[in-house]
Amino acid sequence: MISAERLRQIAFWARELNDTEIEHARRGMVEKEFAKGEYLCHRGDRFDHWVGVVHGVVKVGTMSSTGKSTTFAGCRNGSWLGEGSVVKDEPRRYDLVALRDSRVALMNRAAFFWLFDNSAAFNRFLIHQFNERISQFIGLVEYDRMLDIPSRVARNIAWLFNPVLYPQDKATHLDITQEELGLLAGLSRQHTNEALKLLESKGLLRVERGGVTVLDLPALAGYGE
DNA sequence: GCATTAACAGCCG
DNA sequence: CGGCTGTTAATGC
């Protein structure tokens, strides 16, 4: 269980909730650490929690039988995910893996449904979130066949700074290594490295040690189109 | 061939 | 000193 104070710190959507709603939310939540490379859950698992990333980076994706991985989304601090599996009460359709040491908040199913049934503010947040996910996944359809390497890197970075998914966060810097970015984009570290330098030369971002700073988000989001 | 993996030296925190 | 980066060499599809 976490405090109301803590909930407001780690969950921007909680700021719209009234005291009763906050109470239900915080009582149904715990925080947990995951080490780099550790799985929060595997595809097929029963994992009845809604997940919020407090810090770190979590990859949502699957691993095919041949060992090839597909990323559906990269989630950094401020991300909330997994509501689909909680709502539908079905096994996870994807893996959740920590790309670096990460701290996550877990809300149990009962608390999630209480909010779902009782809080207009919570539902408003969920609708916004679903809506944004849909447009992100539409973009994902063209990803494999249409986008060259720099475009993939640009798009993945833009997703990590999506202003709808991270409305409270005006930051332009993110701690993420080139290797982690490569894992997200489905690219080798070398290609990621080259692509980052290309994007930097065009003034769209700044490459730093263990991180990037976004200089032109719209250009990154639309890169390669 | 091309791309991914491995390997390694430099470097920054 | 450990982890990240940039490059090159080896390996695999």
More confident residue, A217 or A139: A217
Q: Which of A120, A41, A26, A121 is nearest to A81 (CA)?
A: A41
Residues A42 and A91 in one domain: yes
Give the three-state DSSP class for A141: helix
- Least confident range from A37-41, A61-65, A101-105: namely A61-65
Q: Following CA atoms A174, A180, A200, A162 in sequence, which dihedral angle do they give, to the nearest 10 degrees?
A: -50
Q: Which of A125, A121, A33 is nearest to A81 (CA)?
A: A125
Task: For nucleotide C5, give the residue with the nearest CA to its C1'.
Answer: A209
Nucleotides on strand B with an atom closer than 7 A to protein CB?
Answer: 3-6, 12-13
Asked if residue A188 has pLDDT above 80, the reply is yes
Residues A79 and A166 in one domain: no
Q: Residue A137 falls within a domain, yes or no? A: no
Q: Residue A99 falls within a domain, yes or no? A: yes
Residues A110 and A177 in one domain: no
> Domain end: A119, A153, A181, which one?
A119
Q: What is the CATH number of the domain that holds A55?
A: 2.60.120.10
Asked if residue A80 has pLDDT above 80, the reply is yes
What rounded mean pLDDT belongs to chain A?
A: 91
Whole-angstrom distance, CA of residue A224 vs CA of residue A154: 9
Protein CA at A95 to nucleotide C1' at C1, angstroms: 34
- Domain containing A9: what range? 4-119
Q: How many domains does chain A have?
A: 2
Please report the pLDDT score of residue A168 as a whole number: 78
Please, which pLDDT band fits residue A68 given cuts at 50, 70 and 90? confident
Q: Residue A129 falls within a domain, yes or no? A: no
Percent of chain A with pLDDT over 70: 98
